[in-house]
Amino acid sequence: MPKFVYDFTEGNRDQKDLLGGKGANLAEMTNLGLPVPPGFTITTESCKAYLATGSAPSELKDQVTDKLSWLEAQFGKKLGQADDPLLVSVRSGAKFSMPGMMETVLNIGLNDESVAGLAKQSSNDRFAWDSYRRLLQMFGKTVLHIEGEHFEDAIDAAKKAKNTTADLDLDADDLRGLVETFKAIIKQHTGNDFPQDPRAQLDAAVYAVFKSWNAPRAILYRRQERIPADLGTAVNVQSMVFGNLGMDSGTGVCFTRDPGTGQIGLYGDYLENAQGEDVVAGIRNTLPLQDLEQLDKTSFDRLIAIMSQLETHYRDLCDIEFTIERGKLWMLQTRVGKRTAGAAFRIATQLIDEGLIDLDEALQRVTGEQLTQLMFPKFDTSANPKRITKGMNASPGAAVGRAVFSSKEAVAWAERGEAVILVRRETNPDDLEGMIAADGILTSRGGKTSHAAVVARGMGKTCVCGAEELDVDTKAKTIKAPGGLTINEGDVLSIDGSSGAVYLGELPVQPSPVVEYFEGNLDPASADADDLVKAVHRLITHADGLRTMRVRTNADTPEDSARARRMGAQGIGLCRTEHMFLGDRAIQVEKLILANSDAERLAALAALEPLQKQDFVEIFTAMDGLPVTVRLIDPPLHEFLPNLTELAVKVAVAEALGQDPGHDKELLVAVNRLHESNPMLGLRGVRLGVVIPGLFGMQVRAIAEATAERIKAGGDPQPEVMIPLVGAVQELELMREESENVIAGVSAQSGVDLSFIPIGTMIELPRAAVTAGQIAEAADFFSYGTNDLTQTTWGFSRDDVEAAFFTQYLEKGIFGVSPFESLDREGVGRLVRIASEEGRAAKPGLKLGVCGEHGGDPDSIHFFHQVGLNYVSCSPFRVPVARLEAGRAAGTGGSDTR
């Protein structure tokens, strides 16, 4: 019989696939002998079965009954018994943390009878009725899907009748009245009474958690964080402990280090007389964890000891939830905590120095995406701009945008191209879509452990929380700030997630110190380098020592080449020659296209050649001693001519006015002649070299002459000639023969041996990939053009499909991330693997690289390491990211980056 339910004594932290992160860690803390309220976990396999069939496995009900009986025996009382009820919580717990995205229900087991027993047993009527109203509210919202505002409005009405704004001012009679109101809301919206049977409550809550795996916000979060959709969630059923029993009780969340900066110290929030969701919801401003020492020193000292024990045990920053019930400390959850990019690098190196991990493991604790975040600019405050307030620095970064007051508006404004700051009193899981769309998040309530802070840190989104001086009115769409200042929707705000400062208007930005380090302007050993720069230097240096793939750059100018080299690029993997034909040189391309004779064509090519040669001289100088892969002209020639429609209108207008359109008419004839229905699959790439005699020869001659000139000047140029869009080996053979003849001619003329110049091709068509064994016979190297390979494999025209239907494809889960952002391993990746294997089988030692945008994507880099590529190539800014990820891939063998 399959086992679907495990009590906390039966699992451990290595069973996250089965028990989910929360269940596995509850079991681990139980094994460590920590004070964990007893409970049991219903496995992810149960959830997957339920979602697949619409019903729970037949064995589940009996197994839950057995574990519930075991739990009742621990306490000597029954779930929901009238005189002294056992109460439980029901919480989700997926393998990967998804804060607030799925459901939780507390106080299961309370009903109209047991609430009286709880009041008598606790000697606290207010606590009992508060617990019951919480159950009704959470059950109504999460299980019965009643809009939460109905319950919130009722609470607001009760407080207004009491002439107060504080929940704690509501007494037992007020809460008893709210219970009746909540039951009426449930009856009104569902047609049924709130279930009084405790077991019915439990089963319904469990199934609601299962269903919440596919709730829209959970799907959106998984897509954002690239969490697989087929994992399912576990469900944790745990005996309740109560932080809302009075002022000697409370609940809190803490971190063993600051998740915002990585600094060692006490970081967390505590709320007296509250239950756990009050802290993360941000609906009440919390006390700093340090205040607990004055309120309950015994519990505080025990908590500090447990924090240290857990961090040492997990060898990482831990995020911990706890409750104090009448002076007794209970541990409700721990997990490896989400952290900002800066904190990730700092903590990784701190743990090395503390002897908890080594450099190899530290490298796996940071990611290329985190490094990217550290390279963004920060605010320049040298002019002392006026700050309107300061909140908590919940998630670092510098964000500028227009103030909007709802998730819906954030999405709408962002879709119009506006940068926005989402302003809320506090966020909740339903705000996720707006949080993703916004450039930054600002809340007037909540702390570093609130929903806004935790989710923003996970997404790398700038966030300032708990700006208490701001009076946020989401209905009026205004902020009342100190000094009588009113901020309206659409006003520009600048928020600094590193300091917590909020400014009115747009602040200028300055380069990140991490970029200054990579540019060579900041010595990591100098006094000017902070601990973050030192941490980045330490880990990137280790990554460089581990990686087997070299990192090149995509660059077409000497300036980009020099910058990329400073960033650590080991050559150029893609130098696009067509970019050199723009600007003032376009007239020469026009002459080539309009040539009516061989003489005119040769004259146009002769005029272009010295310009091309000088470009290459400058690039070879910037990359002296490093390889430079020059791609011969690739795009269709019509791209160098005026737009067909605009030119036709111009000619027509001139003729209508009786004017001579002159050169424009000649151009229009050429544009019409070159017009193609699908130019990306037309006359471009190697086809241009075949059809226009001398075009590729001119470019190769410019490369060869520039190489000879640099060698004579004492340089060490290392050019590579790359033929684009080859689909058949015969195309490459023709172009190789022509190129070799040109190179030999320049070599004879200059007296410089140029026979070392390799000639290779881009693999960017499916036919090239599946005939790679043949093509390799004529190639010295392959470079995968994964942008075009993705287009031609999927049958996508990138310029059209991304706007036309990619949003729907992502929403419907056809793919979890755009295949242009991260390589489609199953389709495009398989072609890359086939071409690599067959190419090297035909020509052992064949050099392989990638020059599409995927060369800078962290997940794709791990795949390229698996396949055995020699190098990746990416934009200059992404070079440090690729260096880091190539090192991480070498440390894991290229396995999943998660």
CB distance 303 to 324 below 8 Å: no
C-alpha 549 chain-centroid distance: 24
Backbone angles phi, psi at 430, to 5 degrees: -70, -10
Instruction: Name every residue whose Cβ is closer than 8 Å to that of residue 303 and which is 6 or more positions away in sequence.
Output: 254, 292, 322, 329
851, 862, 865, 874: which is the annotated catalytic residue?
851
Residues 6 or more apart from 436 whose CB is under 8 A from it?
220, 224, 459, 461
CB neighbour list of residue 732: distance below 8 Å, 6 or more residues apart: 686, 723, 726, 761, 775, 778, 779
Task: Assess contact for 568 and 612: CB atoms under 8 A.
Answer: no
Residues 6+ apart with CB under 8 A from 636: 674, 676, 679, 680, 682, 683, 684
Q: Give the bridge partners for 401, in sequence order.
A: 493
Which residue, among 644, 632, 640, has the nearest Cα to 697 in the 3D structure? 632
Q: Tell me if residue 451 is catalytic.
A: yes
Sheet holding 440-443, edge to edge: 387-390, 501-504, 492-496, 398-404, 420-424, 440-443, 462-465, 392-395
Containing 174, the helix (H) or strand (E) segment is helix 172-190
DSSP-derived secondary structure letter, 79: B
Determine contact, residues 858/368, Cβ cutoff 8 Å.
yes
Known catalytic residue at 150: no
Taking a C-beta distance cutoff of 8 angstroms, is the pair 44, 17 a contact? yes
Name the residue among 92, 44, 45, 38 with its Cα closest to residue 68. 38
237 DSSP β-pair partners: 40, 90
Tell me if 261 sits within 8 A of 342, measured CB to CB: yes
- Integer Cα distance of 295 and 293 in angstroms: 6
- Cβ-proximal residues to 243 (8 Å cutoff; 6+ apart), any chain: 249, 250, 251, 271, 273, 274, 275, 276, 323, 324, 325
Residues 6+ away with beta carbon under 8 Å from 102? 92, 94, 209, 212, 213, 215, 218, 233
Q: Which amino acid is at 421?
A: I
- Residues recorded for the chain: 898
Number of H helices, E strands in the chain: 36, 31
What are the tokens at 178? 């709210």
Catalytic residue among 254, 318, 451, 465: 451
Tokens of 121: 């047993």
Residue written as token pair 């197994």: 63
Q: Is 786 exposed, middle or buried (0-12, 13-18, 19+ CB in 10 A)?
A: buried
Active-site residue list:
451, 851
